[in-house]
Amino acid sequence: MATNVARLEVSQEEKRAGQSLTALAMRRLKRDRLTLIALAMISFLLAFSFLGAPILSQSLGVSPTRTQTDKTFLLPFTAENFPHVLGTDDLGRDHLSRLLYAGQVSLSVGALAALLSLSIGVTVGIITGYYGGIVDDVVNWIIATLNSIPSLFLLLIVAAVLRPSPQTLIIILGFLGWTGTTRLVRGETLSLREREYIVSARAVGASPLRIMFSHILPNLFSIIIISLALDIGGIILVEAALSFLGLGILPPTPSWGNMLSNSQTFFTKGPYLVVAPGLMIFLTVLCMYIVGDGLRDAFDPTAKD
Amino acid sequence: MNKLFRLVTVSVAVMLIAALVVIPTSAQDQCCQGGIIVEGNLGGDPATMNPVLSSDTASSRVIGLMQVGFLGVDVDEAVIAPNRPGALVKDWTVSEDGLTYTFNLRDDLAWSDGTPITSADVAYAWEAIKLGAEGVLDVPGSYIIDPTGATGVLDVTFPDDYTVVVQMASAECTSLSYAGSLVVVPSHVLPEDISTLMDAEFNLNPTVTSGVFNFGELRPGEQVSLVGNPNYSDAELGVVNPTGYIYKSVPDQTVMVEQFLAGELNVIDGPAVARRQDIRNSDAQVYAYPGNAWDYMAFNQADPNNPQNAFDEAGNPIDQGHHPIFGDVRVRQAIAKAVDVDALVSAAVFNEGSRMTSFIIPASWAYNSDLPPVALDVEGAKALLAEAGWADSNGDGVLEATADAMYAEEGSELTFTLYTNQGNTRREAIGTLIQDQLSQIGFRVDFQTIDFNTLLDIMDSQTFDSIILGWRNGYPDDPDATQLFTPGSDVIPGGNNFTSYNNPRFTELNTQAKNVPGCDPLERAPFYHEMQAIMQEDLPYLWLFAQNGMYAAAAGMTGFDPRPSQLLWNIDTWALSTP
Amino acid sequence: MVKYTLRRLIQAVPTLFGITILSYMLMYFAPGGPVAALTFGPNVPQYEKERQAAKLGLNDPLPIQYLRWLLGDDWMRWDSDGDGVSDGSFLLPLDANGDGEPEPPGDRYGIIRGDFGRSFFYRRPVQSMIGDRVAATLELGATSLILGMALGVPIGILAAVRKSGWFDNVTRIFAVIFNAIPVFWLGLILILVFGSLLQLLPMGGRCDSRILVGGCPPLWGRIDYLILPTFVLATGWIAVISRYMRASMLDVMSQDYMRTAHSKGLASRVVWFKHGARNAAIPLATFLGPAITGLLSGAAITETIFSWPGLGRFAVEAVTAQDYPVVMAVVIIGAVATILGYVLSDILYAVIDPRIRFD
Across residues A198-204, what is the average pLDDT? 83
More confident residue, A214 or B120: B120
Last residue of one domain, picked from the residues B172, B202, B232: B202
3-state DSSP: chain B helix, strand, coil percent, rounded to 5? Answer: 35, 20, 45
Angle between helices C324-352 and C311-320 in degrees, nearest 10: 150
Tell me whether residue A76 is in a domain: no
pLDDT reported for residue C355: 62
Say whether residue C164 is in contact with chain A using an 8 A CB cutoff: no
B489 and B366 both lie in a single domain: yes
| Residues of B (291-310) whose Cβ lies below 8 Å from C | none
Lowest pLDDT segment from A181-195, B277-291, B299-313: A181-195
What is the model's pLDDT at position C219? Answer: 83
Of the two residues B51 and C277, the one the predictor is more confident about is B51
Instruction: Name the residue facing A149 among C30, C182, C331 (closest C-beta).
Output: C331
- CA count, 13 A, side-chain hemisphere, B166: 30
Closest by Cβ to B274, choosing from A69, A250, A266: A266
Q: Is A150 on the interface with C (CB under 8 A)?
A: yes
**Domain membership flag for residue A240:** yes
pLDDT at A218: 83
> Do B469 and B368 reside in the same domain of the chain?
yes
Instruction: Using alpha carbons, select from B368, B281, B325, B311 the residue that is nearest to residue B543.
Output: B368
Checking if the pLDDT of A91 tops 90, the result is no
| Residue-level pLDDT at B248 | 93
Looking at per-residue pLDDT, the higher value among C9 and B100 belongs to B100
Q: What is the pLDDT of residue B578?
A: 67
CATH of the domain at A197: 1.10.3720.10
Asked if B122 and B5 sit in the same domain, the reply is no
Q: Count CA within 13 A, CB hemisphere, residue C13.
A: 6
In a domain, A62, yes or no: no
Give the integer Cα–Cα distance in Å for C31 and B451: 9
DSSP B10-79: HHHHHHHHHHHHHHHH-GGGGTT-S-EEEEEE-S---S---TTT--SHHHHHHHHHHS-BSSEEETTTTE
Chain B neighbors of C37, CB-CB under 8 A: 452-453, 456
Q: Which domain holds residue B116?
A: 68-202
B315-361 confidence digits (pLDDT tens):
888 888 999 999 999 999 999 999 999 999 999 999 999 999 999 99
Q: Flag whether residue A148 sits within 8 Å of chain C, measured between CB atoms.
A: yes
B447 interfaces chain A, CB cutoff of 8 Å: yes
Do B104 and B161 share a domain, yes or no? yes
Q: Is A160 on the interface with B (CB under 8 A)?
A: yes
Residue B102 has pLDDT above 80, yes or no: yes
Which range marks the domain in which residue A184 is found?
104-298
How large is the average pLDDT for residues A74-86?
A: 80
Q: Are residues B111 and B135 in the same domain?
A: yes
Lowest-pLDDT range of A116-125, B10-19, C246-255: B10-19
Residue B403 located in a structural domain = no
Cα separations (Å) of B430 from B342, B424, B426, B449, B469? 11, 10, 6, 11, 10
Q: What is the pLDDT of residue B384?
A: 94
B1, pLDDT greater than 60: no
CATH code for the domain of B323: 3.10.105.10
What average pLDDT score do residues A164-175 get? 85
Domain boundary among B179, B202, B225: B202
Q: With pLDDT > 70 as the criterion, what percentage of chain B qualifies?
A: 95
The model's confidence at residue B571, banded by pLDDT at 50, 70 and 90, is: very high
Question: Is A92 among the domain residues?
Answer: no
Mean of pLDDT values over A252-273:
84
* Angle of CA points A33, A38, A41, to nearest 5°: 125
Q: Do B141 and B178 meet the contact criterion of CB atoms below 8 Å apart?
A: no
Nearest CA distance, C62 vs chain A (angstrom): 17
For residues B333 and B243, membership in a common domain is answered with: no
Round the CA-based radius of gyration of chain B to a whole number and report it: 27
Under an 8 A CB cutoff, do A91 and B433 touch?
yes
Residue B52 lies in a domain: yes
Which pLDDT belongs to residue C237?
Answer: 84
> DSSP E strands: which ranges in B95-143?
100-105
Task: Average the pLDDT over each of A243-252, B271-280, B500-509, C95-104 and give the range with the smallest value.
Answer: C95-104
B133 in the same domain as B1: no
Res. A3 pLDDT band, cuts 50 70 90: very low
In a domain, A36, yes or no: no
pLDDT reported for residue B518:
80
pLDDT tens sequence across B472-503: 888 888 889 988 999 988 988 778 899 999 99
Question: Cβ–Cβ contacts within 10 Å for residue C54, how many?
Answer: 12
Could you tell me whether strands B444-450 and B415-421 are parallel, antiparallel, or unpaired per DSSP bridges? parallel
Q: Report how far residue C97's alpha carbon sits from residue B257's, in angstroms, rounded to the nearest whole number.
A: 53
Domains and CATH numbers, chain C: 31-113 (no CATH), 126-352 (1.10.3720.10)
> What's the pLDDT at C34?
53
Interface contact flag, C36 B456, Cβ < 8 Å: yes
Determine, yes or no, domain membership for A202: yes
Expressed in percent and rounded to 5, the helix, strand and coil fractions of chain A are: 75, 0, 20
Residues B12 and B154 reside in one and the same domain = no
| A18-68 confidence digits (pLDDT tens) | 556 778 888 888 888 888 999 999 999 999 889 888 888 777 778 888 888
- The pLDDT value recorded for residue B6 is 52
Please state which of the ranges A211-215, B240-244, B418-422 shows the lowest mean pLDDT.
Answer: A211-215
Region A107-122: mean pLDDT is 93
CB count, 10 Å around CB of B504? 9
CA distance A22 to A43: 21
CATH of the domain at B120: 3.90.76.10
Identify which has the larger pLDDT, A87 or B182: B182
Domain boundary among B144, B171, B202: B202
Domain membership of residue B443 (yes or no) is: no
* Total of domains in chain A: 1
Residues B372 and B329 grouped into a single domain:
yes
pLDDT band at B244 (very low <50, low <70, confident <90, very high): very high
Check whether residue B52 and residue B144 sit in a common domain: no
Residue B7 binned pLDDT confidence (cut-offs 50, 70, 90): very low
Buried residues in C331-349 as b, exposed as e (16+ CB within 10 A): bbbbbebbbbbbbbbbbbb
Q: Which residue has the higher pLDDT, A3 or B193?
A: B193
Partner C contacted by A161 (CB < 8 A): yes
Residuewise pLDDT in 10s, chain C (359 residues): 778 888 888 888 888 888 888 888 877 776 655 555 555 555 556 666 665 555 554 556 678 778 888 888 788 878 877 777 777 778 777 776 666 777 777 777 888 888 888 887 887 889 888 888 998 999 999 899 899 889 988 898 888 888 778 888 888 888 888 888 888 888 888 888 888 888 888 888 888 888 888 888 888 888 899 999 999 999 888 888 888 888 888 888 777 777 777 777 777 777 777 777 777 777 777 777 777 878 888 888 899 889 899 998 898 888 877 788 888 888 888 888 888 888 888 887 777 766 655 54
Lowest mean pLDDT among A251-260, B301-310, C245-254: C245-254
Mean pLDDT, residues B516-533: 91
Domains: count for chain B: 3
Instruction: Considering only CA atoms, give the Rg of chain A.
Output: 23
Residues B284 and B550: beta-carbon distance below 8 Å: no
A266 contacts in chain B (CB < 8 Å): 274
Specify if B408 maps to a domain.
Answer: no
* Mutate which: B48, B62, B134, B223, vs C, most C CBs within 10 A: B223
DSSP-derived 3-state class of residue B271: coil
* Burial degree of A180 (CB within 10 A; 0-12, 13-18, 19+): middle
Instruction: Write the secondary structure of C306-319 as one string of H (helix), E (strand) and C (coil).
Output: CCCCCHHHHHHHHH
- B190 and B237, same domain (yes or no): no
Residue A84 covered by a domain: no
Top pLDDT among A84 and C53 is at: A84
DSSP reduced 3-state for B166: strand
Query: Rounded distance, CA C203 to CA C225, Å?
Result: 8
- Structural domain includes residue A153: yes
- On the question of pLDDT at A10 being above 60, the answer is no
Pick from C49, C129, C214: CB nearest B494: C49
What is the structure's pLDDT at A149? Answer: 82
Query: Which CATH number do you get for residue B35?
Result: 3.40.190.10
Comparing CB atoms, the residue among C32, C47, C204 nearest residue B147 is C47
* Same domain (yes/no): B95, B185: yes
- Checking if the pLDDT of B56 tops 80, the result is yes
Is C48's CB within 8 Å of B143's CB?
yes
Are C313 and B221 a contacting pair at CB < 8 A?
A: yes
Pairing of strands B267-269, B549-553: antiparallel
